Structure 1
Amino acid sequence: MNYKLLGRSGLKVSQLCLGTMGFGTEAGWGADKETSFAIMDAFAEAGGNFLDTANVYKLGTSEKIIGEYLAQRDRDYFVLATKYTLKDNTTNPNASGNNRKNMMRSVEESLKRLKTDFIDVLYLHIWDNITPIDEVLRGLDDLIRQGKVNYAAISDTPAWVVAKGNTLAELMGWSQFIALQVEYSLIQRTPERELIPMAKHFGMTVTPWAPLAGGALTGKYLRGEQGRIKAESNRLNESSQRITKQVIAIADELGVQPAHVALAWTMQQGFSCIPIAGATKVEQLQENLKALDVTLNAEQLQKLDEVSSISLGFPGDFFKEDGVKMNSFGGFYDRVEKR
């Protein structure tokens, strides 16, 4: 395992992040404690140190399992990321949302479940369209100054909100968001319109969730296997099937599994990207780790880009039109004047 810096920080994290949403057996699926421990052991033995969880995963069981695991090992070896926002109990109207009250309460509860004094990376889990971004950033900065959190990050939030937040944080001397967690895969490339360019501008690392599109990119649904994706899901439509078939073709060409190709693609997009690969079995983790040894050549990347291409919308597509040269102001303005 190689290590990368997380965003504009000195924090060293493994090039693959272990997703732990499946730690726990609530809702009839997932890994029990013994299996979860074995998965984390295998990840650490491979050099992995970056763990991703959240206060609501498996009703808090994911954090509890990780806490029991870390209590018996070197806590400082691991970089532990968790999240706040989503409702984790029904005790009060502020048991959810981005507000400071929920943030502070949620973090204290997470620290108890995780059996630790500090969280390495705290994500805002999802934007609530209610709380002012300055309230969020000041709260996160206070937690960092208290030593309960080391770094701030954000997930599932519009690009303009994140951009405003990091600009405000820089102006005020507060801690900035160093990582951006969004759904990103060959089947879900819409973050390329605004979110990923924004992350590149601010030097944020992108940590994609569902880089295998819920297993669709492994090809198992084309083989008729059952899973947790609903039949009407966009991950299983005609376009997604076409993308998956191309992934399988390249995997066959390389003599690897389709999952290796899909994960490798996310890591070869020209920006800092650490995919979050979940596992509920040790064998799944071991397969995902093999993606680190896969390098796609220019032709393979082009085939994958073409089959999964999306419309950037305005102004992205406008910038790409014939005759519009962003590096030639004269040509650009000539085109605008003609309109």
Structure 2
Amino acid sequence: MPFSFIVPLIWILLAILLIAFLASNIVIVPQAKAYIIERLGTYRGTWNTGLHFKVPLFERIVRRVTLKEQVVDFPPQPVITKDNVTMQIDTVVYFQITDPKLFTYGIESPMAAIENLTATTLRNIIGDLELDQTLTSRDIINTKMRAILDEATDAWGIKVNRVELKNIIPPAAIQESMEKQMKAERERREAILVAEGKKQSAILVAEGEKESTVLRAEASRLAKIKEAEGEAEALLTVQKALANSISLLNQAAPTEQVIKLKSLEAFTSVADGKATKIIIPSEIQSLAGLATSFKEVMVDPTQTQQK
């Protein structure tokens, strides 16, 4: 190959290498990230989201820091309560890096420092509480720990947002005692629920019987009212019929004999009652004799002869 062709090829290769070298120093910082830059071993600055160019050979990225909220679950720590009960407690810490520079240069191992600080703070707080208070005061313990850790880690560029006691594990003997207490409490609540159910059932039965009695009394009252109304209506009907018969009798202009005959019929109906003594007017007595004579005349003569 002629020398004249080799020289341009070398320049092309050098240009490609130069472009690749420069491109390797173009840095894009993604969202929720921050890069710590040093120049010749000295802090140069903090790169936030965007496009940046690193000076070759002089600048380097020391640490890539995430600005998102992070969660660290620390293993159980042995703590002793005020009444000398040893238990295991593990914690969960929610934190966020607010100052990447302090986080990088403030302390050597931030996570180890937070873990040790959490364990120390937890022992100090639990040491002032008895077992019962420890088991029932999670929110108070969480609040105190968050305040202490947030103040201590502020110099490291870290903000502690929340601290949670994940598990509180008392000794085995205490666990058995607690389980027995919980079982007794469940049984007591079940007994209360059963008694309450029986009480409500008895109340419902009594109310049902009461309503049934009221309904029966109301039905009896309405039946008596209906019966009285029926009797009154029947009596009114009889009175109307009697009045109509009297009106018709008056319209027919009855003779004295007809009136006396009606009177006799009335006294006949009276005689059918339970009266033991009846006083008959003289007019009706004579009419009764007339009726007897009329009856004898109407008797069959053959029957008379047979007698």
- Taking structure 2 as the reference length, what is the TM-score of the superposition? 0.17
Larger radius of gyration between Structure 1 and Structure 2: 2
Structure with greater proportional strand content: 2
Structure with greater proportional helix content: 2
